[in-house]
Amino acid sequence: MGRSVDWELDFYYRPLVDADNRKIWELLIHDRATGWRFERRCSPQEANATWLRENLQIALAEAPAPPQRVLYFRPLMSGIVERACKELDLQTRLTRRTFYLEEWLRARERDLYPSETGYQPPGPPPAGLERAPARPLPDALRGERWAFVALSATEIRELKELEIPFGEQLNFALPPVPVPGVVIFSERAEPLAAWMSGVDPAWLYFQPGKPASLVLEAGIEERWVMVSFRNAQIIGEGEDFEQAKERSAGHHFLVIQRPDQEEFTGFWSLHQ
């Protein structure tokens, strides 16, 4: 049997309580390749690596194909997820590129959980520690030029037919509006694209300030300043980029290519 690309997994408690006022836990799995989904619930007493392993075994038996990797985004669940997956010889990756799963979670939080018995609206998120400032991109990896750009959903789908050495394009149902993106031109496109693959890019955003900057969120909590600028026209383009992201429901992309070539060295689907 062939293997699918990746499973996106979340195992955590939901805004629901049982008859004894105990938090209800839920396992969600989304298969990127086929769209197949799996869900199971348990009590807090059952929420451990043994229960997760047993239900992963059920998922493996029901799924169209086993995964190459299991992707998950909650660092707090690393111990349980890693232990359960290791016992089943499943590779794992802690990443914020679990875009399908997070979209599914948002839909459930909006449409499903509030209609269920025992629903408790989540309170405000706890105040976290102040994050460290975004780090500048290493000098050796800076591009010579860059630009805000846009592609249609059709143009993005057609990229699937191309051989692009680095990156990851996901099969999102894109809205019928131009999808914004950023292209970085670099004579060192290959090293930059290889580095980008290693840091796991999640999303880009324009950050106003003096200077303004384009910031990349990557990994689990890393932030990188891709470029800084003071030019009023470029600042306006950065503001337009954020508005275009809103119109495209958060979908955007990153391209890396050599300035003397039309072919892309890297392409990443991103979502915020």
Q: What is the pLDDT of residues 187-232, one digit of tens each?
A: 889 999 999 998 899 999 999 988 999 999 998 888 999 888 889 9
Q: What is the pLDDT of residues 136-188, one digit of tens each?
A: 887 777 778 899 999 998 898 888 888 899 998 887 878 889 999 999 999 88
User: What pLDDT is stored for residue 128 in this prediction?
Assistant: 55
What residue spans define the domains of the chain? 4-115, 135-271
User: What pLDDT is stored for residue 174 in this prediction?
Assistant: 81
Q: Indicate if the pLDDT at residue 119 is higher than 50.
A: yes
Phi then psi dihedrals of residue 217, to 5 deg: -90, 130
Compute the half-sphere exposure of residue 126: CA atoms within 13 Å on the CB side of its CA. 2
Q: Indicate if the pLDDT at residue 1 is higher than 50.
A: no
Q: Count CB atoms within 10 A of the CB of residue 49.
A: 18
Of the two residues 137 and 61, the one the predictor is more confident about is 61
Bridge partners for 60 per DSSP: none
Q: Residue range 245-262: average pLDDT?
A: 93
Q: What is the pLDDT of residues 16-28, one digit of tens each?
A: 999 999 999 999 9
User: What pLDDT is stored for residue 126 in this prediction?
Assistant: 63
SS3 28: strand
Q: Which of 80-94, 99-113, 127-141 comes out lowest in average pLDDT?
A: 127-141
Q: Indicate if the pLDDT at residue 7 is higher than 50.
A: yes
Residue 2 confidence class, pLDDT cut points 50, 70, 90: very low
Task: Spell out a b/e string for 225-242, using b for 16 or more CB atoms within 10 Å of the CB, else e.
Answer: bbbebeeeebbeebeebb
Residue 3 confidence class, pLDDT cut points 50, 70, 90: very low
Q: Kindly report the average pLDDT of the chain as a whole number.
A: 91
Element (H, E) at 106: helix 99-111
The strand ranges marked E within the chain are 4-17, 23-31, 37-42, 67-72, 91-94, 135-136, 145-151, 166-168, 179-185, 201-207, 212-218, 222-229, 251-257, 266-271
For the domain covering 4-115, report its CATH number. Answer: 3.30.420.10
